[in-house]
Structure 1
Amino acid sequence: MSDMNYLEQLLDGMKVEYLPLGDVSKYEQPTKYLVASKNYSDEFATPVLTAGKTFILGYTDEVNGIYKASENPVIIFDDFTTANKWVDFDFKAKSSAMKMISSSDDNKFLIKYIYYWLNTLPGELIGGDHKRQWIGSYANKKIPIPCPENPEKSLEIQAEVVRILDVFTELTAELTAELTARKKQYNYYRYQLLSFEERDMEWKTLGDIGDVKMCKRILKSETRSEGDVPFYKIGTFGKQADAFIPRDVYESYQERYSFPRKGEVLISASGTIGRAVVYDGEPAYFQDSNIVWLDNDESIVTNRYLWHFYKIAKWFVSEGGTIDRLYNDNIKKTKIPVPYPNDTEKSLAEQSRVVAILDKFDILTSSITEGLPREITLRQKQYEHYRDLLLSFPKPEEVAA
């Protein structure tokens, strides 16, 4: 049976009416009695919610002004982002930019059905103040309500849509929880494997195994918004380049000045200190002093071992300026554990063993092509496909327009 046939079977010839969201739901805006103090602690039970990406400010022990969402779940609509969240736990509200949306009639409209439909709307900010944004824009959006003249059948159809989408949502949640657990496991084993407790090990400084290098300075006048070779600044390091340099400049500088070899590990020396990226050998150029690398002796420490170590390195960061900075001397003073320092063959074999274990964890927790992140992305796309499909009821001409 095709997906569309299933939708038709679900409706069983029943009509769908598109009603203004303001007719099927009601909302409450936080008032002063709901505003929480800053007496927050993870030991307390009740979360304090705010607008924006932060969402949970902290946890409070207050008992007054608690919104009982565990008894009557609500949708929290965020004026700042036009995002909405499903909330079925008790909370206190901090921001007036949040709206607590509930069903206007539980005997006709399921609040979770409304929630899933809201997720199909584009999350674009609308001009005007926050209250008008909700009333003037979203309250007038038309939500499909199957056979509203038969509330019992309508609720049955709404419940089936919710049931199917809950399955996908729960699967994604399980995978996300699994990813969180694996990341904790990864961090634990990384520290354990790189501590070499009760094993032959020596702490060497990075200066003992190599020298800090950086690319020749590129002037802003030499960069372009489009071009042949991407130029990575500290803000785009490890991301998508937004500046480029001519190929002849790249080839000239690569030949005449310091340049990383394929496999060497670049690190950020300002801003987010110690962010590590393995150079893949493709044409690219890197901002001097802000992005550096250790020209290390791989007979002492391999590049891949160094990459894993950078994730737990205790850097000697120079503070007090406009931004924190990792100077060359700071890098050279940083200590790295080298196993079996007096036996090169045994040392490299042990480094290879450690790398093999940590690489598996890294793939599982970070890879977008093999690990859990890829699986979560696929499940999320599957959920969005069925959400949009199940909520794509036939539209009358006046709604379609």
Structure 2
Amino acid sequence: MSRIDNLVAELAPEGVRFRPLGDLGEFIRGNGLQKKDLTDEGFPAVHYGQIHTHYGVWAESTKSFTSADTASKLRQANPGDLLIATTSEDDEAVAKATAWLGDTNVALSGDAYIYRHSLDPRYVSYFFRTEQFQSQKRPFVSGTKVRRVSGAALAKIRIPAPPLEVQREIVRILDQFTQLEAELKTELETELEARRRQYEHYRGKLLDFSSETPLRPLGELAHNLDSKRKPVTRDARTPGEIPYYGASGVVDYVSDFIFDGDYLLVSEDGANLLARSTPIAFSISGKTWVNNHAHVLQFETYAERRFVEIYLNSIDLSPYISGAAQPKLNKANLNRIPIPDPSFEVKERLVSRLDSFEALVNDLSVGLPAEIAARRKQYEYYRDKLLTFEEAI
């Protein structure tokens, strides 16, 4: 902070002027570019949705392109301009911005603005992430399901405009902090992935039973409660404390319940089972609703339920999925899945070991977001402090 303080004292001894964004540049609305116009090569192009999902504080290249003919009909940002997504379902994300630092112009879609200005591009982009900016923006956000802000409204927001040398020093410091944050996140995620692979390897060894271990169809090991599960229309899903489960976990909450106890849910969604994008089987406990896209199984003991959950999450269920247009794991196929049936003592010992190992992975899973969130909060505090100045009178 001392170098910035010294620069401000030297270059702006009477304080920093705060000026409306509209006084320092102009807002130009994007137009015409649709997702169907995006290609893998051609003229650089940015769709407003990509600003939300793909781009950070700045970008030097684009994820997508469009044809030269299409680009000639579109409004284009120059190097140094800000690209701003002005619609979102989330108020905080309205006016998310990226500084365009590429070597050429870039075409921009509608629901976005180009901000052509006289400031350091990355300085402005960092400012758009501060609480200073957010607090000024909120009164201008409008709309119901889709929230938006206009260029005319953005032009009224006041930005501290220190000398360019001060802006660049702030950018240099924040760039370093951003790089450190990204490196930490990569390191923690790599450690988490290594723990997960260790768990899967350990699970595979423990579930490698000899040919002497009997196999029994799942329908003989559990009581299937599918007749009690029910569809719930969206209108019936009212705010409440009772979780409403579907094929991939909690999908909503309701104020009533059907099941009350400990159960194993198994996804019926064939596409989910093939992609393994969510757990195939997962335990639930307490009062709950379960819709007609997840099977409900009841067991005598925790060890038996957890053993089946672990086993189902370790095997390929594609041989039991039927249907082409809408593949699913129906009740008959679920009930005939062969499950190893060692003694209760073996199940109990195996579950205990894997639960202990999984707890280590889950601790890191919980710790990873917490650590990243803590670092991000620290970074945001530091960023906002760097962009806070005494205003010139």
TM over 0.5: yes
Aligned length: 351
Distance in 1 of aligned mates of 2:312 and 2:143: 48
Residue 206 in structure 1 maps to residue 218 in structure 2:
yes
Q: Deviations over 1:312-369 (max 9, x none)?
A: 7636556689x87654334334566x5xx556545554454444444433332x31xx
Counterpart secondary structure, 2:110: coil
Deviations 1:241-283 (A, max 9, x none): 64323xxxx6xx7xxxx6433xx444555697765554354xx
For residue 158 of structure 1, the aligned residue among 131, 150, 167 is 167
Q: Residues of 1 paired with 2:224 and 2:385: CA distance?
A: 55
Partner Cα distance (1:169, 1:356) in 2: 36
What is the rounded CA distance, in whole Å, between the counterparts of 1:219 and 1:21 in structure 2? Answer: 52
- Displacement of 1:178 in angstroms is 3.2
What's the % identity of the aligned pairs?
22
Structure 1 segment 139-154 matched on structure 2, within 5 A: 139-146=155-162, 154=163
The alpha carbon displacement at 1:31 in A equals 6.7
Counterpart of 2:48 in 1: which secondary structure?
A: coil
Q: For structure 2, which runs of at least 5 residues remain unmatched after alignment?
A: 56-61, 89-94
Alignment correspondent of 2:97: 84
- Code of the residue aligned with 1:390 in structure 2: it is L
Give the deviation of 1:21 after TM superposition.
1.4
Match of 1:150 in 2: none
Q: What are the residue-to-residue correspondences of 1:295-310 with 2, within 5 Å?
A: 295-296=298-299, 301=304, 303=306, 306=309, 309-310=312-313
**Could you tell me which residue of structure 1 aligns to residue 288 of structure 2?**
285
Is 1:231 the counterpart of 2:242? The answer is yes
Higher helix fraction (1 or 2): 2
Once residues 141 and 308 of structure 1 are traced to their aligned partners in structure 2, the CA distance between those partners, rounded to angstroms, is 57
| Contact kept? 1:34, 1:94, Cα under 8 Å | no
- How many Å apart are 1:84 and its aligned residue? 1.8
Supply the AA of the counterpart residue of 2:85. Answer: D
Q: Give a deviation string over 1:119-178, Cα, whole Å, max 9, x none.
A: 1233754469x9x954311122111112xxxxxxx2332233323433432233223323
2:134 equivalent to 1:118: no
Corresponding residue for residue 22 of structure 2: 22
TM-score (norm 2): 0.65
Take 2:43 and 2:345, find their aligned partners in 1: how far apart are those partners?
A: 56
In structure 2, relative to structure 1, the CA distance for the partners of 1:87 and 1:33 (3 Å cut) is same
Indicate whether 1:384 and 2:393 are aligned. no
Q: Deviations over 1:191-232 (max 9, x none)?
A: 5445559943577653353233369568989x89567xx222
Q: Does the CA contact (< 8 Å) of 2:268 and 2:329 recur in 1?
A: yes
Are 1:331 and 2:334 an aligned pair?
Answer: yes
Any conservation in 1 of the 2:245–2:251 contact (CA below 8 Å)? no
> Equivalent residues in 2 for 1:54-93 (5 A)?
55=54, 72=79, 74-81=81-88, 82-86=95-99, 88=101, 93=107
- Distance apart, 1:376 and its partner CA: 0.8
Asked whether the equivalents of residues 226 and 244 of structure 1 are also in contact (C-alpha less than 8 Å), the reply is yes
